[in-house]
Amino acid sequence: MMGSVGGAISRPSKPLKFLEDMTYEEVTKELKFSSGLVNLGNTCYMSSTIQCLYSIKELMNSLNENQIDSNNSIDSKLTSSLRDLFNILNKKSGSVTPTAFLKNLRLSNSMYNEIDRESGVHKQQDAEECWNDILSFINKGLKDPKLPKNFVDSYLEGEFITTYQCDENPEEPPTHVVEKFRKLDCRIDKSVNYLQQGLTLSLVQKINKNSPSLNREAVYTATSRLTRLPKYLTINFLRFFWKAKENIDAKIVKKVKFPFELDVTEFTSPELASKLKPARDYLNKRKDFLESNNKRLKMAKIAENDAMAGAATKPKPSEEASSSGSNSKMAVDPPVSNSSSNIFNRVPIIEKPVLDSSLTADIGCNPSGVYDLIAVLTHTGRNSSSGHYIAWVKKESEESFESFETLEGGISSSFNLKNINDDTKLWYKFDDDKVSIVDESEIVKLEGGGDWHTAYITLYRAKNFD
C-alpha cells in the first residue's frame, strides 16, 4: 500500500546485465539458443545439413538408444561421430566445432577432401549430395532392433509406383515399376510458381524408351504415384543445371512458393489415398474448429474490452445519487455473455480416427498425408559449388528460452524477441556458428526470385494428431 512502511531495498545479488552490453556468445547462452557450428573452411554445406537433420528428434533418440556397429567401418565411425555431435548440440552451451564429424565425412568420400588450387582451402560442396551421403551412412551404421527396417528406411524413405504408357501405341499394355525414394524433386520451369506444380512435373514426365510392340524407341508417359509416405518428407528444389560451355552448374533463381502445411494426397495412389482419408478428415475438422474458435475468442475479447471501457466511462454511484435523488438505486452492468472465459463451453467433440491396420503397423510412416514444414536449407550464390548455405529450423512450441528475468536489465528495444506472443511462430536461423531468431515472415522470403537466401531443400514432418 502506498505510504506504508516497507523493507529496505536490497542491492541486486549480481550486477545488472543488459543485452546490448553482452557479447553474442553471452546472449545465446543466457537465452539457451540452439548451438551453431563453426565453419572449418567452406563447411557450411555440412553444417546446414546437420542442423536440419538435428530437427529429427527420433533420429537423436535412436542414435543414443541403440548400439552402433563397432566394426571400425566408415559407416559406423561417421554414425558415432554424428551421435556425439548431436549430444553436444543438445547441451545448448554455445558454438560447437564439428572436427570429428568433418574428419570422418572427408574419409568417407574423397570429394569432401578436395582442395581449391587458387585459395588453398577445401572446396565448397553441394549440400544436397552431403544430405544424401549422411543418410546413406546412417542407414548402414545404425541398427534399431525395434524397427523392422533401418531407421532411415522407416522414417525418411517412401515408395512410389510408376506406370509407363506408350503414347504412340495405346494398345500396348502399360508396365509398372515400384521404386523407393528418400526425397521428392521439385522441377522448375517457366510454368512452376508453387511447390505442388514442381512435384507434378517430377511425377508425370515424358520419356523415350524402347517399345516392345513397335520394336523401336517411342515416347512414353511415366506417371508416378506415392504408395508409402515417410514421417519425414524431404523435397529437393532442382535449381541447378549444367552449362556445358562454362563447365559449371548454373542456378535457377525463379520464385517458387512452398507451403507451411503440405497435403500430398493428390500425389498418392487411389489405394493409399483411401487409407489416409480418416486421419486427413480428422485433421481438417480440427483445423476448421481451431480457426473458427480463434475468431470467436478474438471477438469475445474485443466485446469484453468494449464492455470494460464502457463501464469505466459510466458515472460513479455517488454521482448518480446526487443527480437523481438519494433513493436512486445503483445500476448494475449485465454479464458479458460472450466472454472469452465462456468460449470453450461450445467446444465440439472430435473423435480421433480409426487408422487402417497397415498404417498402424508401419512404424515411421505418415498416416494422414499432411505435413508441417520444420526445416529449410537455403543457398545464396550462382552455383552449388560456391556461395553459402544456411539452415532455418522451426522452434518447437514446447521449447522455451531461458527466462528473460535472468537478464536483470531487461531486453534491449532492438532485440527481436521482445515482442513475441503466443501466436508468434519462431524459427532458428543457423548461419554457421551465428544463431538468431526470426519469425515466420522471414521463411516466406526464402521462395527465391533474386540473390537472397533461396530454398534448396525443405524438410516436412507428418502433422501431429495431439
pLDDT band at 17 (very low <50, low <70, confident <90, very high): low
- Residue 402's pLDDT is 46
State which amino acid sits at residue 412: S
Q: Would you say residue 346 has pLDDT above 60?
A: no
For residues 34 and 89, the answer to whether their CB atoms sit within 8 Å is: yes
- Residue 16's pLDDT is 57
Using DSSP bridges, classify how beta strands 216-228 and 204-211 pair: parallel, antiparallel or unpaired. antiparallel
Integer Rg of the chain from CA: 29
Q: What is the mean pLDDT of the chain?
A: 84
- Residue 5's pLDDT is 52
Domain segments of the chain: what residues? 19-156+249-267+369-462, 158-229, 269-311+340-364
pLDDT band at 72 (very low <50, low <70, confident <90, very high): confident
Say which CATH class 19-156+249-267+369-462 falls into. Answer: alpha beta
- For residue 410, what are the CA distances in angstroms to 94, 102, 414? 21, 39, 12
Mean pLDDT of 440-452: 92
Q: From CA 258, how far away is CA 446, in angstroms rounded?
A: 9
Q: Is 44 considered catalytic here? A: yes
Q: Is 52 considered catalytic here? A: no
pLDDT band at 147 (very low <50, low <70, confident <90, very high): confident
Q: Which of 44, 130, 186, 365 is catalytic?
A: 44
Burial of 59 (0-12, 13-18, 19+ CB in 10 A): buried
pLDDT tens digits, 279-290 = 999 999 888 887
Q: Which of 176, 365, 379, 388 is catalytic?
A: 388
Q: Would you say residue 425 has pLDDT above 80?
A: yes
Q: Would you say residue 195 has pLDDT above 60?
A: yes
pLDDT band at 29 (very low <50, low <70, confident <90, very high): low
- Residue 388's pLDDT is 96
pLDDT tens digits, 86-142 = 999 999 878 999 999 999 999 999 999 999 998 899 999 999 999 999 999 999 999
pLDDT tens digits, 291-345 = 777 777 777 777 777 677 766 666 655 555 555 444 444 444 444 444 444 544 4
pLDDT tens digits, 221-254 = 999 999 999 999 999 999 988 877 877 788 899 9
pLDDT tens digits, 381-424 = 988 778 999 999 999 865 554 433 333 333 333 334 445 555 56
